[in-house]
Homo-oligomer: A and B are copies of this chain.
Amino acid sequence: MSGIKNNQLLMNIAIAKAWQYQGLTYPNPAVGALVSYNGEIIAVEAHQKAGTSHAEVLALLEAYKIISKQELLFDTFDANKAHKFLYSLPQNIFSNCTIFVTLEPCSHRGKTPSCASLLAHLKPKKVVIATLDPIKGHDAGVERLQQQGIEVEIAVCEKEALELLEPFLIWQERAFVLFKIAQTSNGKIGGGYLSSKDSLTHVHQLRAVCSRMIIGGNTVRVDRPTLDCRFTGENAPHITIYSKEDNFDRDIPLFSIIGREVKVTNILEDFEKPSFILIEGGEGMLNALKDKIDWLLQYQTPKLSLHNSSYGVELNIEFLHQAKKGIDLMLWSKMV
């Protein structure tokens, strides 16, 4: 049997799952994992938020539920509880399982215990990895698995895994800059075009995890937005208003959210600092900052509209990932 096609198809499922949490895992990478048991896919999970259980841990817990027909009565996102539970299981419980992970299981103990050590202990039949951990000191995962005699296959869908990983690779070194666009499917902007609760929730989740949002002065003057995370109940992001003049109505809610820092500036700095910057802006902002932007996130609402108001900008991009988000289309691309 070749196995190549099978492993690529299954890894692609794990990669697509990870894309659902792209950006949301900051400062961690987006990672997906899949468990197949006697040739049947029984779990597909992704890392969702820094400080919580990693993808392979969530997938193993889900696999355990299917294999044992038991419910889990603890918070599976609590990484310490999750690891403790998995260590307590009979060691052969995953011996017919193959684990697919989009990134080498972490070998170090950070906010959460090491996944490589856990897998080495649990001894699944095989671990398939899309790409090795690029961070020095985190890259002993494969070795630890192999020391326990676990079969390891690497570089399955590596190109796709590296695209998924790109924001993480960038924010290790400097700011990863994501420009968000909401438009109709034929490019009309300016109407707050998000149809689905799912897309709105996604935007609010991104706002909650980013280091800082940059918005344009006109947006503040005209739209008077609050830019909070009310759909998710999380903390509102710090805001940089990119504007020549500092003539804003300080009474709008934007300025009065507790814990938020609002900066007005004409000179954008901090792009060198490892961080995650989210820009929500119009044509002016896109033109002004296009050399700073790494990726675009376009939400397209399912309509064509009469208009002459798309972004007036010339940009070549590369489509990286497309998926539905509720009824909207979510389209990730990079600048080329």
- The answer to the question of A305 belonging to the interface, with a C-beta cut-off of 8 Å to chain B, is yes
- The answer to the question of A333 belonging to the interface, with a C-beta cut-off of 8 Å to chain B, is yes
Q: Which residues 291-330 of A have a CB within 8 angstroms of B?
A: 296, 298, 300, 302-308, 310-319, 322-324, 327-329
Docked pose: A286 CA to B306 CA in angstroms: 12
Q: Which of B181, B186, B296, B314 contacts A306 (CB 8 A)?
A: B314
For A37, the chain B residues whose CB sits under 8 A away are 1
- The answer to the question of A185 belonging to the interface, with a C-beta cut-off of 8 Å to chain B, is yes
Q: Which residues 5-37 of A have a CB within 8 angstroms of B?
A: 5-6, 9-10, 13, 36-37
Q: How far is the CB of A187 from chain B (nearest CB, A)?
A: 2
Q: Which of B40, B314, B324 contacts A319 (CB 8 A)?
A: B324
For A148, the chain B residues whose CB sits under 8 A away are none
> If the complex has contacts A38-B39, A40-B39, are A303 and B314 also in contact, measured as CB distance less than 8 A?
yes
* Count of this chain's copies in the oligomeric assembly: 2
Which residue of chain B has its CB nearest to the CB of A305?
A: B314
- Interface size in chain A (residues, C-beta < 8 A): 57
> If the complex has contacts A319-B324, A319-B327, A327-B319, are A6 and B306 also in contact, measured as CB distance less than 8 A?
no
- The answer to the question of A154 belonging to the interface, with a C-beta cut-off of 8 Å to chain B, is no
Which residue of chain B has its CB nearest to the CB of A306?
A: B312
For A2, the chain B residues whose CB sits under 8 A away are 42, 66
Q: How far is the CB of A240 from chain B (nearest CB, A)?
A: 23
Contact B302 A317 (CB under 8 A): yes
Docked pose: A319 CA to B323 CA in angstroms: 10
Q: How far is the CB of A16 from chain B (nearest CB, A)?
A: 10
Contact A6 B40 (CB under 8 A): yes
For A3, the chain B residues whose CB sits under 8 A away are 40
For A1, the chain B residues whose CB sits under 8 A away are 37-38, 40, 42, 66-67
- The answer to the question of A239 belonging to the interface, with a C-beta cut-off of 8 Å to chain B, is no
Contact A6 B186 (CB under 8 A): no
Docked pose: A37 CA to B319 CA in angstroms: 34
Residues of A within 8 A of B (CB): 1-3, 5-6, 9-10, 13, 36-44, 66-67, 181, 183-189, 286, 296, 298, 300, 302-308, 310-319, 322-324, 327-329, 331, 333, 336
